[in-house]
Amino acid sequence: MNVDQLKSYREEIRQHLTNELLPFWENRAVDKANGGFVTHFDNAGNDSGEDEKSLIAQTRTVYTFSSAHRAGYGEGRYAEIARHGVDFLINKMWDNEYGGFYWLMDRKGDVKIDEKIVYGHSFAIYSLAEYTLATGDPRGLEYAEKVFDLLQKHGADTYYGGYFEMFHRNWDLKGPGAAGGDRKTLDAHMHLMEAFTTLYEASGKQVHRRKLVEIIRLLINKIMHPQYRTGIPQFWEDWTVAPQIKFDIIWGWDRFTEDGLKSAAEDNTSYGHNVEFAWLLMHALDIAGIPYDEYHDQLKASYDHAVEYGIDWEFGGVYVEGSHAGEVYDREKEFWQQAEVIIGMLDAYRVYGDDKYLKAYDATHRFVFDKMIHHSVGEWLPLLTRQGEPIWKHMSHSWKVNYHSVRSMVQGIVRLNKLIGTN
């Protein structure tokens, strides 16, 4: 381990985080007229004008400023920005009749889509619990627990396990197919693990720990491939593998065919999700007080599959996805996979000490800083070719906000500090 090299990574991250990335959001996001956050910006960092405020973008921005404040950035300013976002969530996006948060509002705070989507509620729990941990404001934990309780009442599948994900406003389950009522996903359940981790950290309640451990076991025993231990994207309610389709309520900007199916719809896995799952699992185990050794085989498989098949050793960065057995399907480079691999490979190197993880980190770090960051503006480009040429050029929309990029930099510094031996 070259300590000077680690210090060089840390300084490069610190400069970007404090001089480019956090200022980008601090100077643009706060909507002083209507409350909440503006989250749509073009390549130059200008407001691109979409008249929407999504649950996913509002909660993620609350998380970003809460976590940055908790990590010691912003000299108190970020706590106030997070509080501004929480006010909008509670006063505008909360459904006082049926409980839960609406999926989509216009900028003024009028409801555009009133459905209750579990993916969005996972981020409500995550961000609101983080907000209370960061600021001490009890409202965050209060509403995080309310959402948790609603999910146990309306979302939990007490027969097959896990959670249904797509509901009407009154929490009636939506229909099959593109409506999503008959599907369960890796994405939502992984983010529920993430959410329950921070909820338990904030509350200390055993019921939250029990549900965290339950979802960890479900992810490993039902959602990971039985042979390769890689993540399977979509399932039927009984946890048999379902072809990956695009839902009416779309999250992410994955590339689908015209009929709404993924290519290789029953044999694809995301390198970014696999690494994100592994480091989130490590963090969950830390908070729950469970040794990594209990999940050693899963953790190693998640990291090693990405190193062997997902890292582009020629051009740098991590590919989008491929087969469970290893064939790469999509060699483009999307922002969020890079962000998660930066965190995950530092964790893998910290715990297992194998240089291959540090080499994978270096390949991803250099691609991000040399190709993906739009340094003159401050944020990351969303999608590049394998070689690093921009395909999409916007700085932000509802699905590409600040959660992955800022968290990657904040948590990257935390892990580099551990490796260097400083706080």
Check whether residue 209 and residue 249 sit in a common domain: yes
Q: What is the mean pLDDT of residues 148-174?
A: 98
pLDDT reading at 212 higher than 90: yes
Tally of CB atoms within 10 A around 60:
25
Check whether residue 100 and residue 213 sit in a common domain: yes
Check whether residue 257 and residue 370 sit in a common domain: no
Check whether residue 145 and residue 163 sit in a common domain: yes
Alpha helices in 263-402 (DSSP H): 271-288, 296-305, 335-352, 355-367
d(CA 346, CA 269): 21
Check whether residue 258 and residue 275 sit in a common domain: no
Q: What is the mean pLDDT of residues 42-54?
A: 97
What's the pLDDT score for residue 263? 58
What's the pLDDT score for residue 266? 74
Q: What is the mean pLDDT of residues 7-35?
A: 98
pLDDT reading at 153 higher than 50: yes
Give pLDDT tens digits for 78-114: 999 999 999 999 999 999 999 999 999 999 999 999 9
Per the structure, the count of domains in the chain is 2
| Model-wide pTM > 0.75 | yes
What's the pLDDT score for residue 286? 98
Answer whether residue 281 is part of any domain: yes
d(CA 327, CA 333): 16
Which string of DSSP letters, residue by residue, matches 268-279? Answer: -EEHHHHHHHHH
Answer whether residue 229 is part of any domain: no
Beta strands in 136-194 (DSSP E): 166-167, 183-185
Check whether residue 22 and residue 95 sit in a common domain: no
Check whether residue 61 and residue 80 sit in a common domain: yes
Answer whether residue 40 is part of any domain: no
What's the pLDDT score for residue 257? 45
Answer whether residue 46 is part of any domain: no
Check whether residue 96 and residue 3 sit in a common domain: no
CATH number at residue 168: 1.50.10.10
Q: What is the mean pLDDT of residues 59-69?
A: 98
Write down the number of H helices and E strands in the chain. Answer: 13, 13
Contact yes or no for 316/341 (Cβ under 8 A): no
What's the pLDDT score for residue 107? 97
Could you write out the three-class secondary structure of 15-77?
HHHHHHHHHHHHCCCECCCCCCECCCECCCCCECCCCCEEHHHHHHHHHHHHHHHHCCCHHHH
Answer whether residue 113 is part of any domain: yes
Give pLDDT tens digits for 347-392: 999 999 999 999 999 999 999 999 999 999 999 999 999 999 999 9
Answer whether residue 48 is part of any domain: no
Answer whether residue 35 is part of any domain: no
Check whether residue 103 and residue 177 sit in a common domain: yes
SS3 222: helix
Check whether residue 408 and residue 357 sit in a common domain: yes
* Average pLDDT score, the chain: 95
Check whether residue 282 and residue 259 sit in a common domain: no
Its domain, for residue 414, covers 1-30+268-422
Answer whether residue 199 is part of any domain: yes
- Percent pLDDT > 90 in the chain is 94
Check whether residue 375 and residue 400 sit in a common domain: yes
pLDDT reading at 214 higher than 80: yes
